[in-house]
Amino acid sequence: MANTQTALKEAMTSIEGSLGAALVDYSSGMALGTVGGGKDLDLTVAAAGNTDVVRAKVRTMEQLGLQDGIEDILITLGSQYHLIRLLRGRDSQGLFLYLALDKKRANLAMARHQLRKIEADLEV
């Protein structure tokens, strides 16, 4: 089992094209841990903004009466992918992993696969 910082560092090193990663509490919008980012990618701002995305999708699913869970949410920009993966474990309700990727260097399918693996090993 990996702790938050170990899991985020693994995302940065094992996922090709990673620009930044965060573990976020979407009830508060707070980043519980961050790795990477920089002047062009403020992970605390991204955590708060993507919290709104997650809340909106959860609310929409409730209004539609969908009884399914969100695996991940993909936002595609001109030069980046932003991947949001909601955690499913009993102790991780209300949390998501956020990963920003360089579109030219990243393999989206492999990134999703690796992020799923990191989630499975994460102990919150």
Q: What angle do CA 91, 51, 95 make, to 5 degrees?
A: 10
Look at residue 91 in the predicted model and tell me its pLDDT.
60
Q: Read off the pLDDT of each residue in 79-103 and give the average, rounded to a whole number.
A: 89
pLDDT at 123 over 70: yes
Q: Is 40 helix (H, G, I), strand (E, B) or coil?
A: coil
Q: Find, among 95, 93, 94, 102, the residue nearest to 37 by Cα.
A: 102
Which one has a higher pLDDT value, 15 or 124? 15
- On average, the pLDDT of the chain sits at 92
pLDDT digits (tens, 9 = 90+) for 28-77: 999 999 999 988 899 999 999 999 999 999 999 999 999 898 999 999 99
Look at residue 48 in the predicted model and tell me its pLDDT.
93
Look at residue 90 in the predicted model and tell me its pLDDT.
57
